[in-house]
Structure 1
Amino acid sequence: MRILLVEDEELLLADLQKQFSQNGFAYDSATDGEEALFLGREHDYDLAIVDLGLPKLDGISLIQRWREEDRNFPVLILTARGMWQDKVAGLEAGGDDYVTKPFQFEEILARANALIRRSAGFASPKLRFENLQIDTGAKRAEVNGRVLELTAFEYNALEYLALRSGQVVSKTELTEHLYDQDFDRDSNVIEVFIARLRKKIDPESSLKPISTLRGRGYRFELSAQQES
């Protein structure tokens, strides 16, 4: 998943970059509202994490501008302000959730994962697709109860495609949302990883979970199962 981190405190931003990277996220960063506004216009992020107290353009105005321009990715608000009015203002501007500083990273991560899931229409962290279950909290996938041995990229690709079940995801989109900017997008690495992922999920070729649409990209084909 690619996220946008908007924070003007250098140490906090560096810590968030490190922590999210270690948890398999790709990210872009901005240290002021104007830069963040531009990035949010240019890229379709899975999530933005926005501090309210930003220079040049404050966080509430930033979120309002995005929403006015139909930028609908979920927004998690960070604020050091204790007044409940500021939290309400952030949510009314178009934010989806908030965390008050200081915080534990585990809380940020849990809320970020929940917002990404919910924006795709999933309430539970455990996604069920026929014989396949994906636990987005534990970052683990199982087929018929058998835990799959996936690399970090293979898991991230599976989760990204599964959250967009039935939608065509281009190679470019998959690359942008899973890799840092310096990745060679002309390589065949994506094709190799998707082929390996297919074999691990479906060694007998009975599920056929991921199809390739020539010239268009990939599509996750399994149907989501509703929780009982």
Structure 2
Amino acid sequence: MRYLIAETSWTMMTLAQELAANGTLLTRTDRPEDIAHYLRLGEADMLVIAADQIGQHGLTLSGLRKEFGDLSIAVVAPAPKPEDIAFWLNAGADTIVPEYEAPEETIMRLQAVVRRVHGLSAPEISHGPLRIDLLSRRAYLSGCPIKLSPKLYELLEYLALRPGRLITRAELLSHVYGLEDEPDARVFDVYMCNLRACLKPACGTVDIETVRGAGFRLALHETAAPAIAA
């Protein structure tokens, strides 16, 4: 999953470091005025913003909620008062994070909010023989671990969170690379080929389909399609 985080203070920079160390993909900015622009450029699962930036640079929770309806929003605040928490939640925030909270608790809090947007009650994705542990960032087929590089894991997680949905190449690249330099198209094709090879033991019950000229989707089948005789 990818978070957009506004690093406007030492507290926010420290939180960004903790999230990155946990493996969370981050788009980082020290310019809150660019937040809406970044959200329009690439999909993010969550925005993490300091409370003192709300109302600045034209940023409002209600405005963000209206334009980016599926976006999770976490507000980080020093010793938030009950009335402030109620106001922010009513305005569009999904969770309020106290600055003094332990990093481990904050990470679990943010992950819980984001995964529930995807309809997950537990930190696990299950599709037939495929299981993905979102906490350990590991994937399994029929209980056996799949050896995945970090980028292959991110590609698989993104597709698995959206089973059956057509995902464009641009969406996948934006998720994995953010605003950084994207790889050559041939390198991306190699990634997808390697990911399909990792799913081959599923015998077609879980597969990545290519829709020529449109994108990719994670296809799920109760049983594998029978082979067609030559």
1: distance between equivalents of 2:202 and 2:43? 36
2: distance between equivalents of 1:204 and 1:85? 52
How far residue 177 of structure 1 moved from its aligned partner, in angstroms, is 0.8
2: distance between equivalents of 1:89 and 1:56? 13
CA pair 40-182 structure 1, distance change in 2 beyond 3 A: closer
1: distance between equivalents of 2:50 and 2:126? 34
How far residue 83 of structure 1 moved from its aligned partner, in angstroms, is 0.9
Which residue pairs with 2:211 in the alignment?
213
Gaps of 5+ in 1: none
- Aligned amino acid, residue 8 of structure 1: T
Report the RMSD for the aligned CA atoms in angstroms.
2.4
Q: 2:52 is paired with a residue of what secondary structure?
A: coil
CA pair 132-3 structure 1, distance change in 2 beyond 3 A: same
CA contact 2:206–2:221 (8 Å) conserved in 1: no
CA contact 1:170–1:216 (8 Å) conserved in 2: yes
CA pair 41-208 structure 1, distance change in 2 beyond 3 A: closer
1:6 aligns with 2:6: yes
Q: 2:119 is paired with a residue of what secondary structure?
A: coil
Which of structures 1 and 2 has the bigger CA Rg?
A: 2
CA pair 33-202 structure 1, distance change in 2 beyond 3 A: same
Give runs of ≥4 in structure 1 deviating > 4 Å: none
Which residue pairs with 1:142 in the alignment?
140
Q: 1:209 is paired with a residue of what secondary structure?
A: strand
2: distance between equivalents of 1:30 and 1:87? 24
Which residue pairs with 2:52 in the alignment?
53
CA pair 205-191 structure 1, distance change in 2 beyond 3 A: farther
> Percent same amino acid at aligned positions?
27
Q: 1:202 is paired with a residue of what secondary structure?
A: helix
2: distance between equivalents of 1:17 and 1:223? 39
CA pair 117-104 structure 1, distance change in 2 beyond 3 A: same
Out of 165, 168, 171, the residue aligned to residue 170 of structure 1 is: 168
